[in-house]
Amino acid sequence: MEARFVCFLQVIGYKASTNPQGSVSDSRLGFSHEIRLFVTPSVRVYCLKHNITRCMGMDLDKVTQFAASVKSCKPPEVYKGRGIRYQNEVIQKKPGKKKQ
């Protein structure tokens, strides 16, 4: 299978790891339990580093849908920027409270 479409997901601020095992992807995202996501046969998931995951496949809709489902497990915070985001995504951070 030659992959045409690739999405890179990056985990920032957490000790997270992804274990792609066939049709199931186990992720540890700082919760007390592992998160299991079922991967469709048309999408392949590879873990490049402990914080970078590559999703690739032939169908753009299925690749982006799987990447969005992974991202929805731990969306990026607006104050510190921690969470799962696309590798080239820029998060607008909100300013925190200021002491007077």
Domains observed in the chain? 5-86 (3.90.930.12)
Q: Could you give the C-alpha distances from 37 to 18, 45, 88, 98, in angstroms and in order?
A: 10, 11, 23, 40
pTM, two decimal places: 0.83
- At residue 1, the pLDDT reads 59
Q: Which residue has the higher pLDDT, 18 or 71?
A: 71
pLDDT in tens, 48-97: 888 888 999 999 999 999 999 999 998 999 998 888 999 898 889 998 88
Place of tokens 């490049």: 48
